[in-house]
Amino acid sequence: MVSFIHSCTMSGAEAEIIRVECDMAPGLPVISVVGLPDAVVKESKERLRSAIINSGIEFPWNRRITINLSPAGTRKEGTHFDLPMALGLMMSEYGIRSVSGEMVVIGELSLDGSIIPVDKAFPLCVAVREKGIKKVMLPAGNLNETIIIEGMEFYPVEDFVQAHDFIIGKTVIEPVEGRRCEETAGIQKENDVDFYEVTGREYEKRAIEISVGGFHHIMFSGPPGSGKSMMAKRIPTVLPEMTYEEMLEVNKLYRLFGNPDRNDRLLHKRPFRAPGGNVSMSALLGGGNGIPRPGEITLAHNGVLFLDEMPEFRRDVIEALRQPLEDEYITISRAGGKITYPCKFILVGARNPCPCGYYGDVTHKCTCTCMQIKRYRERISGPIMDRFDIVLELSNECEGERNGRIISSGEMKRNICKARKIQNERYRKETIRFNSQLSGRMMKKYCNLKREAADFYREGCEKLGVSRRGEDKILKVARTVADMAECEDIEIIHLAEAFQFRKRKDDSFEI
């Protein structure tokens, strides 16, 4: 008799539902596992035999047992196949064809028959939920981390007997419903930094506000000490709260590999990743031996990726960002498989104006040759530079009295949330969510300019020597500026402000 029971495996960030098929025929007591199991899954036949016997359940000794993990072409890995395989085996013995209702079973068996928690329970449950499956049988030890996944029904099991009795209908397990935990949403660690501490930098703060508000990539260019890193460090304080779904997705990605401490708090803040200049291609984009792991860009999903001293990164690493920046996902092909991870992040770049750092600074002498400066600037290629909607040139500020109002992170965050809310509303029926994602066609629809504004826009682009691609960027940024001001139409003042954030022509070394 053949039995079927469902389990799952991770393929990248997505779950793949695996049907565990078990068949028995009279013969010598051999268990063979087929369907591309990895070493861990193959070993599980030894575990499940002992576990079943030690649970006091009769093991079918005079049977040749074949277990197939379907679809057979997908690689399976992980210890969580123990439980579904053991259950399938017993179902086959009893002649139960399948479990009623769609249920996914995960769990690792100990030799004494107890069920021990598995590493990937959280990402598996989140991914299973994305597939629309609600019921999951899982080790009781994993319940405390997965309980916050809303809309799920968990069947926690302590040992094999419990699971076995439930499957054959002898006992009932009361399902535990996953629910959003209010207290977890509430715990926001107080930030120890704030934009309020940054005085005399209202221009840069405004640029950050617009960047985060409309999901625009931003580049800071300035001499050492002009506050590039200081400002970037404070960006997390103005990022809007993650929605519940975003929180699940981010935590899923973080727990895909590693994170052995299952009692670890969930991440509630948007990720802010700042890899160093020596980051390798696979650390940044994802990769590594075996099944490709998510890289920094995936860990920055829904958050911010900050690349300080961008020209110091390896050039090929920076160039490799082109495709993920465009598509918002990354596909990694390795011997271990072809995997796609999401990576939607705001790219914050920083660089010096020249190798020594002081070109254009009034207080220090720049010691670089013109050729060095030219080469340094070329290290970030045109196509990458083009991805930055906002390019900000910073200078070392002179100390002076501060008359103006100092905006705090809280205020900035409020403005940002306001703009994001408007965008969410506007793009409800589109595939995009932010102004920076507007395509040419959508721009015609959502960035319509009234007559005077259109004249101003055209005149500005012409007089200020803005390139074609630059024109689009200005319009997108202006859209965000208008959203911040809660204006439906883009007006001249919004355009005028957006013009200030454009990349200026760098002609000093071309004439």
Residue 271 has a CB neighbour count (10 Å cut-off) of 21
For residues 188 to 217, the per-residue mask of contacts with other proteins, x marking binding by CB under 8 A and - elsewhere, is ------------xxxxxxx-----------
Q: Which is nearer to other proteins, 221 or 237 (CB)?
A: 221
Comparing CB distances to other proteins, the nearer of 94 and 509 is 509
Closest contact distance (angstroms) between CB of 212 and other proteins is 15
Is residue 73 within 8 Å of residue 36, measured between CB atoms? yes
Given the complex with other proteins, which of 335 and 398 has the nearer CB atom?
A: 398
Helix (H, G, I), strand (E, B) or coil at 407: coil
> Cα separation of 417 and 232, whole Å?
19
Window contacting other proteins (CB under 8 A); options: 74-82, 140-148, 220-228, 236-244? 220-228
Angle at 381 between CA 377 and CA 387, to 5 degrees: 115
Residues 338 and 264: beta-carbon distance below 8 Å: no
**What is the identity of the amino acid at 198?**
V
Using CB under 8 A, which residues numbered 444 to 473 contact other proteins? 459-460, 463-464
Interacting residue with other proteins among 82, 159, 296, 497 (CB under 8 A): 497
Q: Which is nearer to other proteins, 155 or 359 (CB)?
A: 359
Q: If DSSP codes are grouped into helix, strand and coil, which group holds residue 408?
A: coil
Omega before residue 71 within 30° of 0, cis: yes
Stretch that binds other proteins, among 175-183, 241-249, 333-341, 503-511 (CB under 8 A): 503-511
Give whichever of 21 and 497 is closer to other proteins, judged by the CB atom.
497
DSSP state of 159: B
Contact (Cβ atoms closer than 8 angstroms) between residue 22 and residue 92: yes
In whole angstroms, the minimum distance from the beta carbon of 365 to other proteins comes to 5
Which of 57, 35, 28, 31 shows the shortest CA–CA distance to 46? 31
Q: Assess 263 for contact with other proteins (CB under 8 A).
A: no
Q: Whole-number minimum distance, CB 407 to other proteins, in Å?
A: 9
Residues 352-411 that bind other proteins (CB under 8 A): 353, 359-366, 370, 392-395, 397-398, 400-405
Q: Could you tell me the CA-to-CA distances from 414 to 190, 408, 496 in Å, in that order?
A: 17, 10, 23
The DSSP line for 25-66 is: EESS--EEEESSB-HHHHHHHHHHHHHHHHTT----TTEEEE
Least Å distance, CB 462 to other proteins, is 9
Binding mask 22-51 for other proteins (x = CB under 8 A): ------------------------------
CB of 227 to other proteins, least distance (A): 11
- Footprint on this chain of other proteins (rule: CB under 8 A): 200-206, 221-222, 226, 353, 359-366, 370, 392-395, 397-398, 400-405, 459-460, 463-464, 481, 485, 492-493, 495-497, 499-500, 504, 508-511
